[in-house]
Amino acid sequence: MASMVMWSSSTRSRVFGSAMRGEKMAAHDTVRIVAHDEEWAARCAGEAEAIRAVIAPARAFIDHVGSTAIRGLMGKPCIDLLVSLLDWSEAQQVAATLKTAGYVEEESCDNPPRIFL
């Protein structure tokens, strides 16, 4: 489970998000809060590895964030990833590449610039 949000800051550009590739949460869907699952970290690591392979050679950090990243904390069973791009000029290409890999653009905004996938 993962998807992306991109935005730019004065210090460095970032990408983060939550949702399962190719699967959108509808407005009427019920939000489930569940007990922490020890598998979340492994699923995040696998998704991060897959993202890194897809977006290469873009220079990026990929971090597990949100409630699923905190051991013992209940949360929505949806992995949140923060992908920090070192060069915002790569953002559109990274977004296009992630869309090709099955991520769906949810929203974009120009102030500050960001792309939700």
Max CA distance (Å), the chain: 39
Domain that holds residue 88: 5-116
Please give the residue that has the higher pLDDT: either 64 or 25: 64
* CA–CA gap between residue 8 and residue 45 (Å, rounded): 24
Contact 2, 17 (CB under 8 A): yes
Average pLDDT over residues 69-93: 88
Q: Evaluate if residue 87 carries a pLDDT over 90.
A: no
Q: Find tokens 């890194």 and name the residue.
A: 52
Average pLDDT over residues 75-99: 86
- Pairing of the two strands 80-85 and 60-65: antiparallel
Phi first, then psi: give them for residue 5, nearest 5 degrees: -130, 130
H/E run at residue 78: none
Q: Report the pLDDT value the prediction gives residue 28, as an integer from 0 to 100.
A: 64
Q: Report the pLDDT value the prediction gives residue 84, as an integer from 0 to 100.
A: 81
Q: Report the pLDDT value the prediction gives residue 25, as an integer from 0 to 100.
A: 56
Domain count of the fold of the chain: 1
Q: Report the pLDDT value the prediction gives residue 99, as an integer from 0 to 100.
A: 87
Q: Report the pLDDT value the prediction gives residue 53, as an integer from 0 to 100.
A: 94
Q: Find tokens 């922490």 and name the residue.
A: 36
Where is average pLDDT lowest: 22-31, 52-61, 106-115?
A: 22-31
Q: Find tokens 């949100």 and name the residue.
A: 66
